[in-house]
Structure 1
């Protein structure tokens, strides 16, 4: 994707000011960072890709309930990176957060290995053909399962995007960071491909305990490789809680709401390292009073006091920067919901379709996301090697992160529409073969590969959307919130999983579209509903981008 042979130390950080440890960092850190990402991603993919099947087959959990547990697990993994980023920015630094979180993941995986290996930690399997209901898990079995999932979720959340932050910090220019994020995303998805095939196959046809054991091994190896590169990393030192300064802006602005502002830059607190005095911008001018100096801000020794009554111009502008990003962040929040519905429901569709490849090989249902991951990897490579260069030649300017995000929005909507058409065909086949109202395990004679086009389109959309979002937030966030910036997109995904669960509950409570047996429902209508929501959200996204500066 780029030539990494020229590994020079840059004394000036270009975009983000001088960095004292400029002799460290650079391309030499890339193998260690990407190897860490690969190991962590394989552990994540090996567990999550087949989680619904594990819950249904080994813990006798109902299918829709398994989909909701799947969504809740992913939500925790996606929301908690924000907490990890705050810890990294404020107290521990990215390096410590990563190795501590990796250890927590290992503990959770060990517990899940025990649930798979010890029959006492699982309910007895359902008897085929029996009219007796399947036995539900006991309190101890539920506790072991949820404690293991909880530890894994917390651990993976702590590393998932913090690794991206420390990786981007090793480079000085926006272009270098953009290249890194392309590789970062590429390695994540290629690792998902490997885990969704090899590890899921072991779990489905060899042993769940062995499959989870492989996840444990890849996570441990990732931690060892990360620690091996310690001497090369440019460390991100914590600077105390950046959110305290943001809160001070609001408090100080409220306290000085009646003060008349000045047009003289010297009347505003500039901080210790400012050059030419600057006026606050006119955007959200009501906050400018937080940096306006008054006689009450002068301490006993005649010095300006930095407190909850006075902030610097930089702190005020940083707060405004975050406010400007909120509308775009909301559009990212809504676009995550269709992806969530697709990921949680496609495995349930696969269980009800013909999964044979030839006469002997049967594809595990948990392998279906591989088509999303593969198309994402191919798209990222194509965009980096061909599309960006063609775009530059045609327009004489690089494609912006928001343009990449917009393309991803459109492809996600189209993907859901295609999936709705495929599900309508599957339901028609179920009616033709009188499979409605029969056993929940009844298989519609329709190949699982009908799902591939929609999954491929979703993957192409992510190939545009995912790197564009991360690059955009990392570029636009204030300097002292860089770690938090990469976790913000993860927060969108996490809330999207909870919104997906909320949508499932609303649909099940108000319609008969989502029964336990999908052959008796109208999952296609759910997909059409999500398609409509995605289309509305895209229009909202276009409005936000037209107003954003």
Structure 2
């Protein structure tokens, strides 16, 4: 305001508040003053989400009498939904309502889910009667109780999926400079990690050791505070009007290309529809037009596309070459994207089985404190957090000094794959040792018995998985760098989509193993989890080979940004 007044002459009068145009008012909004409200909301919503998601397996087994393997399937489906929905949420925000209304709505949906969890934990008729330890005849949930559980999980999953990534986009929209946006994303991930640590430790401990009802009530309170923090900043937020989803242009390219599939002949640049003359020169110099040539037909001008005044306009029959090239950029990255599916599938199975293992092992620290089974996942989070810090501050500078080259995103992802393989091997060996202890103490066939082996053994593969994610997750910036400009805002949702599909696949694979083998009985002490882990090792090795092939064939959009040339890891 002071800068504006300095440019006005003494005779110039500033319009009254009510006379100022809406655009002027909008220009005053946004900036760093909005970030405390957004990060406060993110903190509350994340504590609530992690509070139910991380302990869902234990809740299903202990409070709903669900069999252990079934509980892992329920958990993976719920978490898969929460990771698939961010893409739909991004499309809804971009196309129709904007980020703020969408985040507010789904934060309220999440609150309803937390209230339902609290009611389930406190009202005895909403869950089956408690099951005695070691009993083979536990009361199964009724259809009504299952319906309440699934409705609760639906509300909680949609609430998580509709807020987690959309709120990050909303935060970035408040800032103009790239440097400020990068700083915000740093605070965003720090808030996410801190919230998860609070839930993995304090909230889970209260749920397991004090009261499930109190634990979920605290989640509901955190959710309510997060929603209130978001709403309190409403007058300060910069509201970005919906501009339509970029995915609609992708759909139009596919439809237009199919409609003109029978077009034949040799066509020059003058036969295609461009948004401007400068773009024609760029396209002629680009080799990308030679890839996926079939899609070029979507921009082919025909007589039927000509309007009454002789001009052309975008439609479901005619797209610009820029839109065609955007789709080609997405198709180019898809093989590498698909290489992440197997990794997410294996990690989904690994995380679920680790909780089941922890439930059967000695979790005491000293004579008075017992670590909740789901809290072991905090070792994964700590491994990721610490490794990211060490990689950025020590490994990458050392790598650049020794090789005189920077580490490419593909190299980081590849190293993450290798470390994950080592983690799965470690899990298989630890499970083999656990089964040997079971045989030595003759505990097979005795449900509910605790194996005299410290559950802290499980921390090692969890930390290794975290270290692998420390390499893999920052390497996923590749998606942001390589996606077309029109899809930048939804590139993070694409990463979430990989996780969601991977969790659904993990459920399908566990169901297949459960149906075709005897490795996964309800009492895992009678099963062969070590065989399952060796299957994960085989999957990870095959997937790593597939990733190397994709990396070898991949070409960066801007070669000068990466010293290793087109194949990244393949040249390392």
SS at 2:358 equivalent: helix
- Does residue 1:498 correspond to 2:507, yes or no? no
Cα distance per residue 1:353-390 (max 9 Å; x no partner)? 00111111111111110111111111222233333444
CA contact (8 A) 1:32 1:228 kept: yes
Partner in structure 1 of residue 371 of structure 2: 363
Name which of structure 1's ranges 476-485 and 97-106 shifts more when overlaid on structure 2: 476-485
Judged with a 3 Å threshold, the aligned counterparts in structure 2 of structure 1 residues 24 and 400 are, in CA distance, closer, same or farther, namely farther
CA contact (8 A) 1:353 1:444 kept: yes
CA displacement at 1:35 relative to structure 2:
3.1
- Does residue 1:547 correspond to 2:549, yes or no? no
Name which of structure 1's ranges 224-233 and 502-511 shifts more when overlaid on structure 2: 224-233
CA contact (8 A) 1:86 1:483 kept: no
CA displacement at 1:474 relative to structure 2:
2.5
Judged with a 3 Å threshold, the aligned counterparts in structure 2 of structure 1 residues 396 and 216 are, in CA distance, closer, same or farther, namely farther
Picking from 462, 467, 470, the partner of 2:469 is 462
Judged with a 3 Å threshold, the aligned counterparts in structure 2 of structure 1 residues 468 and 33 are, in CA distance, closer, same or farther, namely farther
Cα distance in 2 between the residues matched to 1:518 and 1:297: 64
- Does residue 1:432 correspond to 2:450, yes or no? no
- Does residue 1:95 correspond to 2:103, yes or no? no
CA displacement at 1:232 relative to structure 2:
5.2
Picking from 121, 124, 133, the partner of 2:129 is 124
Partner in structure 1 of residue 311 of structure 2: 303
Partner in structure 2 of residue 16 of structure 1: none
CA contact (8 A) 1:186 1:380 kept: no
Name which of structure 1's ranges 513-522 and 101-110 shifts more when overlaid on structure 2: 513-522
Partner in structure 2 of residue 12 of structure 1: none
Partner in structure 2 of residue 110 of structure 1: 115
Partner in structure 2 of residue 74 of structure 1: 79
Cα distance in 1 between the residues matched to 2:535 and 2:521: 17
Partner in structure 2 of residue 443 of structure 1: 450
Cα distance in 1 between the residues matched to 2:102 and 2:409: 28
- Does residue 1:325 correspond to 2:333, yes or no? yes
Name which of structure 1's ranges 100-109 and 76-85 shifts more when overlaid on structure 2: 76-85
5 Å matches for 1:262-301?
262-264=267-269, 266-271=270-275, 277-279=281-283, 281-301=289-309
Name which of structure 1's ranges 230-239 and 312-321 shifts more when overlaid on structure 2: 230-239
- Does residue 1:59 correspond to 2:67, yes or no? no
Judged with a 3 Å threshold, the aligned counterparts in structure 2 of structure 1 residues 459 and 52 are, in CA distance, closer, same or farther, namely same
Judged with a 3 Å threshold, the aligned counterparts in structure 2 of structure 1 residues 499 and 208 are, in CA distance, closer, same or farther, namely same
Picking from 84, 88, 92, the partner of 2:89 is 84
Partner in structure 1 of residue 254 of structure 2: 250
Cα distance per residue 1:231-290 (max 9 Å; x no partner)? 5545443222433321221232233332334333x4321126966644362111221122
More helix per residue: 2
SS at 2:283 equivalent: coil
CA displacement at 1:346 relative to structure 2:
0.8
- Does residue 1:147 correspond to 2:155, yes or no? no
SS at 2:290 equivalent: coil
CA contact (8 A) 1:89 1:484 kept: no
Cα distance in 2 between the residues matched to 1:169 and 1:299: 37
CA displacement at 1:214 relative to structure 2:
1.1
Partner in structure 2 of residue 513 of structure 1: 519
Instruction: Show structure 1 runs of 5+ residues with no match.
Output: 1-19
Cα distance per residue 1:125-156 (max 9 Å; x no partner)? 1245666x111112222222211111011111
Partner in structure 1 of residue 559 of structure 2: none
Judged with a 3 Å threshold, the aligned counterparts in structure 2 of structure 1 residues 359 and 351 are, in CA distance, closer, same or farther, namely same
Q: CA RMSD in A?
A: 2.4
SS at 1:515 equivalent: coil
Cα distance in 2 between the residues matched to 1:231 and 1:192: 29
Cα distance in 1 between the residues matched to 2:38 and 2:480: 17
CA contact (8 A) 1:350 1:365 kept: yes
SS at 1:279 equivalent: helix
CA displacement at 1:458 relative to structure 2:
0.7
Picking from 312, 337, 342, the partner of 2:345 is 337
SS at 2:520 equivalent: coil
5 Å matches for 1:411-422?
411-422=419-430
5 Å matches for 1:188-227?
188-227=192-231
Judged with a 3 Å threshold, the aligned counterparts in structure 2 of structure 1 residues 301 and 89 are, in CA distance, closer, same or farther, namely same
Cα distance in 2 between the residues matched to 1:528 and 1:89: 43
SS at 2:452 equivalent: strand
CA displacement at 1:164 relative to structure 2:
2.7
Pair member with larger Rg: 2
Name which of structure 1's ranges 282-291 and 447-456 shifts more when overlaid on structure 2: 282-291
Cα distance in 2 between the residues matched to 1:237 and 1:476: 25
Judged with a 3 Å threshold, the aligned counterparts in structure 2 of structure 1 residues 73 and 246 are, in CA distance, closer, same or farther, namely same
CA contact (8 A) 2:86 2:164 kept: yes
TM-score, normalised to structure 2, is 0.86
Instruction: Show structure 2 runs of 5+ residues with no match.
Output: 1-24, 556-572
Name which of structure 1's ranges 28-37 and 345-354 shifts more when overlaid on structure 2: 28-37
CA displacement at 1:228 relative to structure 2:
3.9
Q: Give the total of aligned pairs.
A: 526
